[in-house]
Amino acid sequence: MPGAKTAVAWLASVAPDPESCRRDWERDPSGVALLPAGKAWDVLILPSRLGYPTLDVLSRVLDQPGPVLADF
């Protein structure tokens, strides 16, 4: 699963110890890691009804918005 490995590497890259974070996830894929925002991604928490309109605005302002995580 190349996409999953790429995502794990990208997420782990901002951890204080990326290799340790990656190893922890290999041992327990459902494990939780606290990763700092603002280095590789930003966090925006808003009501679901505002999700698509916000993405539309970001798409017009940015050349290409980054990955999006939806937590319902």
Query: 26 in a domain, yes or no?
Result: yes
Q: Which residues contact 31 (CB under 8 A, 6 or more apart)?
A: 24, 25
Query: 13 in a domain, yes or no?
Result: yes
Structural domain count of the chain:
1
Amino acid 62 reads L
Low-confidence ranges of the chain (pLDDT < 50): none
The string of pLDDT tens digits covering residues 37-48 is 888 887 888 898
Separation of alpha carbons 17 and 10, rounded Å: 13
The per-residue pLDDT for 4 is 73
Work out the number of other CB atoms within 10 angstroms of the CB of residue 61.
8
Query: 55 in a domain, yes or no?
Result: yes
The per-residue pLDDT for 50 is 92
The boundaries of the domain holding residue 49 are 2-61
The per-residue pLDDT for 72 is 62
Of 37, 31, 30, the closest CA to residue 15 belongs to 37
The per-residue pLDDT for 19 is 96
Query: 69 in a domain, yes or no?
Result: no
